[in-house]
Structure 1
Amino acid sequence: MSPELPPWCEPLVSRVRTARTEDFTRLRTPSTGGRASAVLVLIGEDPAYGPDVLMLQRAATMRTHAGQPAFPGGAADPDDTGPVATALREAEEEVGLDRTSVTVLAQLPPLWIPVSEFVVTPVLAWWHAPHPVHARQPAEVAHVARLPVAELVDPANRVRVRHPSGWIGPAFQVRGMLVWGFTAGVLTALLGMAGWDRPWSQERIVELPPVGATPAPYAGNGSAGELAEPGTASGSILPGR
């Protein structure tokens, strides 16, 4: 028998069952081509802080995407049976996640990232049995954190970021992390679907480091559904594989 979902999670699960690509981005996902990838959007609950989202921070020494927060995830392996298998395998490899502690809730629409030609499928899951996690690949992952939803939706922690390319998009400043790009786009959409989002001022803009220190998003208007480039290196959304 599957673990019972907490009441606060049910509105999100009901809404994502009918989610469309257009809820996340204006870009159409091509019917063929692109490199299959997946990320795990893992929602848990902390007794002290309430609902939270598992996030990792990439190592500062990486050639690209240095220090950038992201969901666990990466490119599909030939032996993976689908996006769920990819997302769980990557989370196990990166942060030591026990896949038996996870209840998969929904496979979201695949999202096209034209710069890298990745087709990324977010996998939404409930962490019914949370356990300690850590960076298993220090060369790629510097830090693992559970970011409380209450802090993500706090208007004081919401900003927009401006990339040197001119792209502007939503971001979160939480517990020393600046979450932006693809990850922030998915989070923004899901928080809205769950009914957790709160009004926030979009006049606060944070400048990103120069090109070369951060990946350039594709050209877009920076709305909530504009998804930035998640990575370009062979083998994974996380560079350096």
Structure 2
Amino acid sequence: MTSMQTGRAILDEDWTDILRDRLAVAEREKRRLETGDHVLNPDLPPYARWEGPPRDAAVLIGILQRGEGPSVVLTQRTGHLKSHAGQVAFPGGKIDPTDNGPVEAALREADEEIGLSPSQVEPLGNLAPYLTGSGYRVVPVIGAIRDAEPFHPNPDEVEDVFEVPLNFLMDPANHQKLSREWQGKRRYFYAMPFGERYIWGVTAGIIRSFYETVYS
């Protein structure tokens, strides 16, 4: 199946099967190599601002069916957080010792952050770990959301919950490669503005990884 055919199929009613199969093929063919902030910046090593082993984390790329097609659930973080305040992010966080791996951690965090019950999510597969410059090794878990009730954002962490059409995020024409000055050097990153929402940094990098895994 070509990338264009895959893109059309993902918008069909059987998109869950398509995604599950594509993720399984990527894992079987060993195409799920670690990616991260350093990919666009070869002189920026993984975990650029962290000493010692990385901290394991997981996020949920939750996808639900709408009348116009599948949509991806994202959050706007509250402005008072110590890190990444006000930024767009997937539900997720650190993997606790009590979690049975990244899937359980991603589902637990989604429940805590936006009130999404784990029973409403069907895991479809994982992307390759994403290495962040702040010292995290993030496993993106892709899941189909079934019979989603209204989300209830935790005001301590989440200011708002919103959705973006999957076909928008999977269109490379919407993947902007931008740069900023950081510590005296030009650093590159992906950005995917959507209306008033500015999706960039790690979240955009994970979306790009999703695109490359499913469409390549």
Q: TM-score, normalised by structure 1?
A: 0.68
Per-residue deviation at 1:91?
Answer: 0.4
Matched, 1:22 2:33: yes
When the two structures are aligned, how many residues end up with a matched partner?
187
SS of structure 1 residue aligned to 2:18: helix
The structure-2 alpha-carbon separation of the partners of 1:193 and 1:36, relative to structure 1 and needing over 3 Å to count, comes to closer
Cα separation, 2, equivalents of 1:52 and 1:118: 26
Matched, 1:91 2:143: no
Contact 2:121 2:146 in 1 (8 A): yes
Cα separation, 1, equivalents of 2:135 and 2:188: 21
Contact 2:32 2:213 in 1 (8 A): no
Per-residue deviation at 1:24?
Answer: 3.7
Q: Which amino acid aligns with 1:125?
A: G
Per-residue deviation at 1:45?
Answer: 1.2
The structure-2 alpha-carbon separation of the partners of 1:154 and 1:76, relative to structure 1 and needing over 3 Å to count, comes to closer
Q: Which amino acid aligns with 1:163?
A: R
Segments of 4+ in structure 1 off by > 6 A? none
Unaligned runs of at least 5 residues, structure 2 = 1-11, 40-44
Cα separation, 2, equivalents of 1:163 and 1:15: 34
Matched, 1:11 2:18: yes
- Larger helix fraction of residues: 2
Unaligned runs of at least 5 residues, structure 1 = 198-241
Match for 2:129 among 96, 102, 110? Answer: 110
Q: Which amino acid aligns with 2:149?
A: H
Cα separation, 1, equivalents of 2:15 and 2:107: 24
The structure-2 alpha-carbon separation of the partners of 1:21 and 1:194, relative to structure 1 and needing over 3 Å to count, comes to closer
Q: TM-score, normalised by structure 2?
A: 0.75
Cα separation, 2, equivalents of 1:139 and 1:85: 21
Contact 1:23 1:189 in 2 (8 A): no
Contact 1:21 1:28 in 2 (8 A): no
Cα separation, 2, equivalents of 1:62 and 1:28: 24
